[in-house]
Amino acid sequence: MSLLFSKYTLGSPKGGLELSNRIVVAPMCQYSSADGAATDWHLMHWGNLLNSGAGLFIIEATGVLPEARITPVCLGLWDERTEAALKDKLTRARALAPAVPVFIQLSHAGRKGSSASPWHGGQLIDEGAGGWQASAPSAVPQLPNEKPPRAFTPDEIQDLIQAFVIAAQRAERIGIDGVELHGAHGYLLHQFLSPIANHRTDQYGGSFENRIRLVIELFTAVRAAYQGVLGIRLSACDWVEGGWTPEETAELALRLKSLGCNYVHVSSGGVSHLQKIAIGPNYQVSFAKLVKEKSGLPTMAVGLITDPHQAEAILQAGDADLIALARAFLYKPRWAWEAAAALQGEVTASSQYWRCLPREAQAVFGAVRIGQR
């Protein structure tokens, strides 16, 4: 039997959340909000991916404050207006697709904030042109030619933690099934973890214990206020000498497990323009394996996993528990259907779609699922 198409349960204080398979649509920024509010683009995008056949869908990096966004057009969840917009679009998208658990990735961009959309160059935007003063652990810019960010004060760190707590509570009110804290790709939580970006000399910088302090305090606060599945995405390696390491990632994951963490989504890179990533198929799987072995937490492997048999082999080897794909789903929104046909698995599909497959492949929908939405 295919492990990729076997059920998997993620625990939480509310009890287990069962996924119909181990395929995850990873969070992908769409740069398509209206001052943080979800738009019709999100309605279309979410409805499409909720029809993908994946067992779990994670909404893109979502700013917990206006200044937490990467760009002025990034999604947000910081007030009643952004909460109402997200709820409206997600409720409508869910009505057009099979029942699929939905998580949201809560984020603060830190020194990567106030940037232009990728297709507009991705560079920092001046305050006079619609940008804002970015904040970070230290006044160290992402690129040498950029304006330095402003360093967080200890009091502002406590306000930041509270912003994540409130956003998680908003997500719970909306009916979202889980929260993923964004501690990867060079954004704020990763900036605190990495000595590349964190040059602080107070209790939040210097030693490993100090650099992980914000993540520990933030996770503890969110876990106390939020009862759904709670996980974290981490960059396991900075790919730069003297940066954050896979071993530190595994140790942090072990500590988060004791605080009630339910999974770790294992990625890498993003904090330094000097990174030398050894990119290729499965290039981050070894990190997921290490975190899983050292912490005992469920892990999601991600990064250039594009073939169903490749995904199956990762699970069969015990290197990860779930397989996350991002851009592969943009290119092939029905990737999971093809995987089901290749691995003799089953997916749920809207009745309007299931007839598209050749007769020999229609078994992937199963007699029980045909005609259901």
The residues near 334 (Cβ < 8 Å, ≥ 6 apart) are: 51, 52, 53
Give the pLDDT band (50/70/90) at residue 357.
Answer: low
Q: pLDDT tens, 189-233?
A: 999 999 999 999 999 999 999 999 999 999 999 999 999 999 999
Average pLDDT over residues 34-51: 98
Q: pLDDT tens, 156-178?
A: 999 999 999 999 999 999 999 99
Average pLDDT over residues 273-291: 96
Residue 280, pLDDT above cutoff 60 = yes
What does the pLDDT read at residue 202?
A: 97
For the ranges 94-108, 115-129, 184-198, 347-361, which has the lowest average pLDDT? 347-361
For 32, half-sphere exposure in the C-beta direction (CA atoms, 13 angstrom radius) is: 15
CB 42 within 8 A of CB 30: yes
Nearest 5°: the CA angle 325, 329, 333 is 145
Give the pLDDT band (50/70/90) at residue 20.
Answer: very high
Indicate whether 3 belongs to any domain: no
Indicate whether 270 belongs to any domain: yes
For the ranges 67-76, 78-87, 320-329, 343-352, which has the lowest average pLDDT? 343-352
What does the pLDDT read at residue 367?
A: 36
Indicate whether 340 belongs to any domain: yes
- 31 is annotated as an active-site residue: no
The residue among 359 and 193 whose pLDDT is bigger is 193
What does the pLDDT read at residue 372?
A: 41
What does the pLDDT read at residue 358?
A: 64
- Which tokens is 129 given? 């042109």
Burial class (CB in 10 A: 0-12, 13-18, 19+), 136: buried
Torsion of CA 150, 155, 160, 162, to 10 degrees: -170
Tell me, what amino acid is at 22? R
Give the pLDDT band (50/70/90) at residue 132.
Answer: very high
What does the pLDDT read at residue 232?
A: 98
Indicate whether 108 belongs to any domain: yes
What does the pLDDT read at residue 17?
A: 97
Question: How far is it, in rounded angstroms, from Cα 24 to Cα 306?
Answer: 12
Mean pLDDT, the chain, whole residue set: 94
Tell me, what amino acid is at 180? E
Indicate whether 1 belongs to any domain: no
Indicate whether 101 belongs to any domain: yes
Length of the chain: 373
Residue 366, pLDDT above cutoff 60 = no
- Exactly one of 31, 187, 204, 226 is catalytic; name it: 187
Question: How far is it, in rounded angstroms, from Cα 71 to Cα 133?
Answer: 12
Domain total in the chain: 1
Residue 371, pLDDT above cutoff 80 = no
Indicate whether 2 belongs to any domain: no
CB 72 within 8 A of CB 130: yes
- Which residues of 146-275 form beta strands (DSSP E)? 150-151, 178-183, 229-235, 263-267
Indicate whether 19 belongs to any domain: yes
The residue among 32 and 128 whose pLDDT is bigger is 32
Residue 373, pLDDT above cutoff 60 = no
What end-to-end distance do the CA atoms of the chain give, in Å? 25
Which CATH number covers residue 300? 3.20.20.70
Tell me, what amino acid is at 301? A
Residue 258, pLDDT above cutoff 90 = yes
Q: Which domain holds residue 253?
A: 8-369
What does the pLDDT read at residue 369?
A: 42
Q: Closest Cα to residue 315, out of 40, 49, 55?
A: 55
Residue 370, pLDDT above cutoff 50 = no
The residue among 128 and 55 whose pLDDT is bigger is 55
